[in-house]
Structure 1
Amino acid sequence: MDLSVVIVNYQTFELTKNTINSIFEYDYPFELEVIVVDNASSDDSLSRLQDYFGDRVRFIASAENNGFAAGNNQALRVVEARYVLLLNSDTIVWENTLENIYNYMEDHKDVGTCGCRVLLENGELDKACKRSFPNVKNSFFRLFHIPTNSADDNYNLDNLPDDEIYEIDCLTGAFMFMRKEALDTAGLLDETFFMYGEDIDLCYRIKNSGWKIIYYGESKITHLKGASSKKQKSKLIYEFYRAMYIYYKKHHAEESSFIVNIVVYIGIAVLCILKLFLNLFKKKD
């Protein structure tokens, strides 16, 4: 097998079906398989997907939902392909995207993982698809919405073109095309992260293992990100800020002073509480 596409499903039959169909719509000059991990859905989405795709898709049914990272890892532990693609269940793959990135990875053996241009439903760029690693400085400016023209604070790399190919720090977990050898070197997703942050952490470890991370802006997918509701579930808000805490503590706390660490931890907690409070007054779509 050349490429294993891993998709985590959680009660999203239509979205997951459309994502898989967007892959199967095209022919490929390499062997490809799709693995769907169902994260203990409480609806009938798993059985419906099994009935719809049959043996065209490989299914793994999780006994419990331990998060996005844990769901992906169930598939990553059994993958034997040379490449693996982590793909969100709410994406649409464009024509030639997988083939173009596959060929690029074949031609550039020092690349550990590659992403593409990720477009939101309205056609705008999902800025998470090309990022610098978060640090104390750029996180401060971003979290408090303070405008800055400093290149050191450009977390979303807005100064770089969206439609070109170049090396970056971090991709989005919605689309991560990885060399299996690089994944074996860096290790699986950190299951301490329930959702959010696990993609940044994995990119950090892949890059620290000596592999390049490439943004391939010439190819695209569509990400139906946040399409369901303007009002977020409290758990998602909590997990977003919890991921910040985990990532900072894991990669930056030891190199920072005690005072800086306390300020960062308090800042994350205050922002989380504030966001949870404001979310109470938002209306659902």
Structure 2
Amino acid sequence: MFDTESIASTDIAAPRPGYPDRAALFDISIVIVSFNTRDVLRQSLQTVVQETGNLKIEVFVVDNNSRDGSVEMVHSEFPFVLALSSAVNLGFGAANNLALKQARGKYIVLLNSDAFLRPDALRLAFQHMENAPKVGLAGGRLMSRDSSWQPSARMFPSLRSDFLAMSGLAHRFRDSRFFGYSDRTWADPTEPAQVDWVPGAFSIIRADALRQVGFFDPDFFLYSEEVDLCRRIKNAGFNIMYWPDIEIIHIGGESSRQMNSFEMSHVGAQLTRWRMRSTLLYYRKHHGSTAWRAKMLELLLYKLIALRNSFSSSQESKDKVQINRKLSRLMLQAWQDTNGGRISPPRPWTLD
């Protein structure tokens, strides 16, 4: 069952700390953030329609100032959707906050516009949360179109996990509990587990948990926002769960794996800089001076990789030298952008 009201909004006021204390009117509020993703957004909404079943659901699409006709498509093809439009690109967390201020569901489902619900996903998510009152947030099993598994249940970042990931050791020894700790690549993905955080492509959140901890921290424009939210929910005494019988097709992870090599294009460099900014903001917020150590760790690794490749005359090695030197410069820029993780640059972060 859907709410048939349709609204448009350009309100980008700061979110309130949490929901007003009121009874839930819906079983689930689904929130989808879109930025120039009209065609996959249509597919995502189609799976929502297919999987609603007997659940009482309201659906929000928050458009981050798209230019591809996404809002018009939603209004014409999905009139039951509550369409919120921002005049600027707010990023992932702050855009979700626009809908969270209005959501009236007992649970909130966050769904990427390039993520598609598999059969029974919503019913199972609702049922699991009903049966596990100590769970504040949970995720499902993310898969590519070919049904291959994507990392879906993770542990909080640490300097150790950063080193293992950037050095390639985590990928090389995926079956090791030590090396594969962060992404739990050693674990059986068909087994449910209590974890630290789940990716934002799909998650179901207890509204009562958000009442306690508040919404997404808008300082995280892109990257680390779901990690921060999960940490706050865990700190409030709730559990974070991974339930593999909730299956989601996620195109984003599929696309990233198809990149055989990292090309330091202008856009790629800027997204990397954004990731670095968010990493520094996260470490400063939750671990204080560890932000400085995180910066130094990345700089050291980039320097060592560049040094190792400088002894080879192959073009591939020369390219790696240049890429890692550029990564070092990007980290120094990110450190300056955020004053060492203490401040977030004004939104929207731009591809300058």
TM-score clears 0.5: yes
Superposition deviation, residue 40 in structure 1: 0.8
Alignment match of 1:238 (pick from 253, 273, 276): 273
Residue 23 (structure 1) aligned with residue 53 (structure 2)? no
Residue 80 (structure 1) aligned with residue 104 (structure 2)? yes
Distance 1:276 1:191, change over 3 A: farther
Superposition deviation, residue 70 in structure 1: 1.0
Q: Distance in 2 between matches of 1:224 and 1:152?
A: 26
Q: Normalising by the residue count of structure 2, what TM-score does the alignment of the two structures yield?
A: 0.72
Superposition deviation, residue 267 in structure 1: 3.5
Q: How many percent identity over aligned positions? A: 30
Provide the residue aligned with 1:281 in structure 2. Answer: none
Alignment match of 1:262 (pick from 292, 295, 299): 292
Alignment match of 2:193 (pick from 145, 166, 169): 166
Q: Deviations over 1:72-126 (max 9, x none)?
A: 1110111121100111000110010110110111111111011100002332211
What pairs with 1:85-100 in structure 2 (closer than 5 Å)?
85-100=109-124
SS of the residue 2:136 aligns to: strand
Superposition deviation, residue 275 in structure 1: 6.1
Superposition deviation, residue 277 in structure 1: 4.3
Q: Distance in 1 between matches of 2:323 and 2:207?
A: 41
Alignment match of 1:189 (pick from 216, 220, 223): 216
Q: Normalising by the residue count of structure 1, what TM-score does the alignment of the two structures yield?
A: 0.88
Superposition deviation, residue 196 in structure 1: 1.1
Provide the residue aligned with 2:228 in structure 1. Answer: 201
Q: Distance in 2 between matches of 1:173 and 1:130?
A: 11
What pairs with 1:52-71 in structure 2 (closer than 5 Å)?
52-54=77-79, 56-71=80-95
Q: Deviations over 1:4-50 (max 9, x none)?
A: 00000111111101001011013423201110000011232211221
Distance 1:77 1:275, change over 3 A: farther
Q: Output the amino acid matched with 1:77.
A: K
What pairs with 1:95-110 in structure 2 (closer than 5 Å)?
95-110=119-134
CA contact (8 A) 1:131 1:170 kept: yes
Alignment match of 1:175 (pick from 202, 221, 242): 202
Unaligned runs of 5+ residues in structure 2 are 1-25, 303-321, 328-352
Residue 210 (structure 1) aligned with residue 237 (structure 2)? yes
SS of the residue 1:2 aligns to: strand
Q: Distance in 2 between matches of 1:276 and 1:47?
A: 44
Distance 1:209 1:275, change over 3 A: farther
Alignment match of 2:155 (pick from 116, 132, 136): 132
CA RMSD of aligned residues (A): 2.3
CA contact (8 A) 2:40 2:114 kept: yes
CA contact (8 A) 2:138 2:243 kept: yes
Distance 1:27 1:193, change over 3 A: closer
Q: Output the amino acid matched with 1:245.
A: L
For these two proteins, the number of residue pairs brought into alignment is 271
Q: Distance in 2 between matches of 1:276 and 1:123?
A: 37
Alignment match of 1:143 (pick from 144, 163, 166): 166
SS of the residue 1:193 aligns to: coil
Residue 115 (structure 1) aligned with residue 139 (structure 2)? yes
Unaligned runs of 5+ residues in structure 1 are 279-285
Distance 1:238 1:36, change over 3 A: same
Superposition deviation, residue 150 in structure 1: 4.9
